[in-house]
Amino acid sequence: MAPATLWFWTMDLSARLIALRKQQGLSQQAMAEAVGLHVNQIKRYEAGTAQPSLDGLKKLAVALHVTTDSLLFGESERGPDEGLLLQFEAISQFDEEDRDLARGVLEGLILKHQAKQSLLRQAVRSTPAPAKQPDAGSKRKAHTAAAHR
């Protein structure tokens, strides 16, 4: 990713909306009209006091000429890292037979990973919780009760 756009990915949704709106020279009112919302709703989104619905996100993305992913996710939250991206670009140059082979290998690795994660989750769920040790106050109460019998 170009350093000039790196600043954009470190922001949250409200900051991204403000930056994109200003980058495109739109006022909050103009943005509201482009999206079909009341200006107060745009103000709430930008203040971070409200979150857009799925339909609202789609309208915002269309009006701002970006993807919904770019509105919602930071750079490291979605998509392959740069190394994998370069590898995927290289694979896209393969002939169809080799691309299918690469897809099959990736699908196998993904299934293996998902199975491993499932087994780990099951192991965690089936591990009994450690026996709860009585705290000092409980021990004192039991000792006092026994002494009064």
Q: What is the CA radius of gyration of the chain?
A: 27
Element (H, E) at 101: helix 96-126
Split at pLDDT 50, 70, 90, the class of 131 is low
- Domain boundaries of the chain, sorted by first residue: 7-77, 82-125
Q: What number does CATH give the domain 7-77? A: 1.10.260.40
Quote the pLDDT of residue 2. 43
Q: CA torsion sign, 25 to 52 to 75 to 84?
A: negative
pLDDT at 139 exceeding the cut of 70: no
Quote the pLDDT of residue 144. 53
Quote the pLDDT of residue 134. 60
Quote the pLDDT of residue 12. 87
Dist CA 137 CA 88 (whole Å): 61
pLDDT at 8 exceeding the cut of 50: no
Quote the pLDDT of residue 4. 42
pLDDT digits (tens, 9 = 90+) for 47-62: 999 999 999 999 999 9
pLDDT at 118 exceeding the cut of 60: yes
pLDDT: is 142 or 118 the higher one?
A: 118
DSSP state of 65: T
From its phi and psi, is residue 2 left (phi > 0), alpha (psi between -120 and 50) or beta? Answer: beta
pTM equals 0.50
Of 62, 63, 27, the residue nearest 43 (C-alpha): 27
Quote the pLDDT of residue 146. 53
Mean pLDDT of 2-25: 72
User: CB–CB of 34/26 below 8 Å?
Assistant: yes
pLDDT digits (tens, 9 = 90+) for 16-46: 999 999 999 999 999 999 999 999 999 999 9
